[in-house]
Structure 1
């Protein structure tokens, strides 16, 4: 009887060991499957990005071989004579994005500060919903609104005042010179500022709310005002997230197409005045790609896309470098 009991216990122990081994095998298999799936997703993204880069380089090669470096530094854009230069679209892209960020970043941060520190609780949700709705409006709606509402308003009420006010101010007189067209670089910049404002505001609000309350309470306990708490406690604590939100908005501004196409004027020239018509890389591609006749014309437009890709990559690389420096400084 004792031997039979021992044999039964031994068989039971072996069965337990076998079940545990099978369970470990299943866990190991699921873990390996998960690892391979995540690795495949990451490799797919890299392959997709590499495919886009290769396609742009191959498509832009005829134009780059034909014009060389002059394609980047030339303002000429004449499809009839097949003389193309990307300087005017590059200039318009950078200027409209820069002016848009000058407008949107302060407003976005101030709105986020108001929502997190000063806004009554009953008003926070309506304002937050309104900001999120702004982010969900299609860009073509912004373009139509800008063309039929904002541009006429600027032409009649804002641009004449800017021209007369800064007419005798050195430096600013050239920035606000010329007839009030309504459409132009300034109008496109305002539209872009409105479009990127929800991204900057939402991300800034979220990171501001993540600040530990004890830090703000300690600052208030020392006698700091609300501005001092935001300036010396909240912003330093959340600067990484704020910079990330700003760069996300800048990436949106650099690549925006339809809204800018409606209101910028689509003129292939460089003007010092913000009131003058201009163009951007995205607007040029959107306007002319379907009408491009000939391999050189099409290749030039693809080369513009390659340049925009490089500009965006450089901006994101700079942003990443700044974030790394801030993280190292923090510790």
Structure 2
């Protein structure tokens, strides 16, 4: 006969397994339910405009013509600008805190970085609108227009008037917002590098730069890619900060200095004003597209991480 204590332990283990499995399946069901509800809510827009909903730049509530191209374009461009700013800065901060900074400075700087993540997005938006955008329009954008506006390749990106708000401003504000998230993950990853690897590199006569570039970064590159895509997901869905500084104009322009719109900002600005079923359906369809874009980005990140892990496995 089996021990009663053993039976109780086995029963508790089964209960724990069922509980954790139920929680995992609940998340999946919630995800599918959210996607299905948004797709159902946007069915009128998809059936009315078809594939043209994705390719049309027109957004005219008066005439009932809606297209998602401008919000999608604005979302992708501002998120790309944010990544180009946030990734090198975040990795540099993480490397400094784990490898270079003296021990007495790591704590205060790390806390300051984490406090940036606690600031509400509306505060970033107000700062961007009332402080950063006027400064950018008065000192930076005129220089960009004068020196880069007439160049053959970069010229179209910096054409227009220095009005302060626009895709460049929104991208910079987004970059500042996601720096704490990427930096925090990167710092923890760098701190988890086995000391034996660093000691072996030092024993071979490696400099600090060689340790960082040939030991720390290669060992943690898959986790860093995950942190980057985490920041990208944060940037894609940001609403209030982007609403303040993007300009909220349904105009498709190559210039980064011109106002544009994003999916989240469009929904936040216009949902209370949607007075027709088609108008509301179009906004819900935008939400579904944002869900799809985010899902595709995270899926690509997972695929990239899997390939990197397999490559490391073959290497080792």
Band of TM-score, shorter chain: over 0.9
Separation (CA, whole Å) in 1 of partners of 2:175 and 2:95: 18
Q: Which residue of 124, 141, 147 corresponds with 2:129?
A: 147
- Corresponding residue for 1:211? 193
Deviation at 1:120, TM superposition (A): 1.2
Q: Tell whether the 8 Å contact from 2:90 to 2:180 is kept in structure 1 after alignment.
A: yes
Q: Tell whether the 8 Å contact from 2:193 to 2:219 is kept in structure 1 after alignment.
A: yes
Q: Does 1:158 align with 2:140?
A: yes
Q: Tell whether the 8 Å contact from 2:121 to 2:240 is kept in structure 1 after alignment.
A: yes
Separation (CA, whole Å) in 2 of partners of 1:75 and 1:98: 20
Q: Tell whether the 8 Å contact from 2:144 to 2:158 is kept in structure 1 after alignment.
A: yes
Deviation at 1:29, TM superposition (A): 2.0
- Corresponding residue for 1:7? none
Q: Tell whether the 8 Å contact from 2:149 to 2:157 is kept in structure 1 after alignment.
A: no
Separation (CA, whole Å) in 1 of partners of 2:204 and 2:102: 24
Please tell me whether Structure 1 or Structure 2 has the larger radius of gyration of its CA atoms. Answer: 1
Separation (CA, whole Å) in 1 of partners of 2:272 and 2:306: 42
Deviation at 1:24, TM superposition (A): 2.4
Q: Which moved more, 1:297-306 or 1:117-126?
A: 117-126
C-alpha offsets along residues 50-90 of structure 1, whole Å, 9 cap, x if unaligned? 11011011101000000000000000000000000000000
Deviation at 1:227, TM superposition (A): 1.7
C-alpha offsets along residues 149-172 of structure 1, whole Å, 9 cap, x if unaligned? 101110111111111111332121
- Corresponding residue for 1:311? 293
- Corresponding residue for 1:64? 46
- Corresponding residue for 2:86? 104
Q: Which moved more, 1:104-113 or 1:22-31?
A: 22-31
- Corresponding residue for 2:57? 75
- Corresponding residue for 2:150? 168
Separation (CA, whole Å) in 2 of partners of 1:160 and 1:65: 45
- Corresponding residue for 1:179? 161
For structure 1, the residue ranges without an aligned partner over 5 or more in a row are: 1-16
Deviation at 1:224, TM superposition (A): 2.2
Separation (CA, whole Å) in 2 of partners of 1:157 and 1:277: 18
Separation (CA, whole Å) in 2 of partners of 1:30 and 1:226: 50
- TM-score by length of structure 1 reads 0.93
CA RMSD of aligned residues (A): 1.0
Q: Does 1:287 align with 2:259?
A: no
Separation (CA, whole Å) in 2 of partners of 1:168 and 1:291: 41
Deviation at 1:242, TM superposition (A): 0.5
Question: Per the alignment, in what secondary structure is the counterpart of residue 179 of structure 1?
Answer: coil
Q: How many residues align?
A: 313
Separation (CA, whole Å) in 2 of partners of 1:32 and 1:200: 37
Q: Which moved more, 1:32-41 or 1:273-282?
A: 32-41
Q: Does 1:253 align with 2:235?
A: yes
For structure 2, the residue ranges without an aligned partner over 5 or more in a row are: none
Q: Does 1:222 align with 2:228?
A: no
Question: Per the alignment, in what secondary structure is the counterpart of residue 3 of structure 2?
Answer: helix
- Corresponding residue for 2:34? 52
C-alpha offsets along residues 235-274 of structure 1, whole Å, 9 cap, x if unaligned? 1100111011101000000000000000000001111110
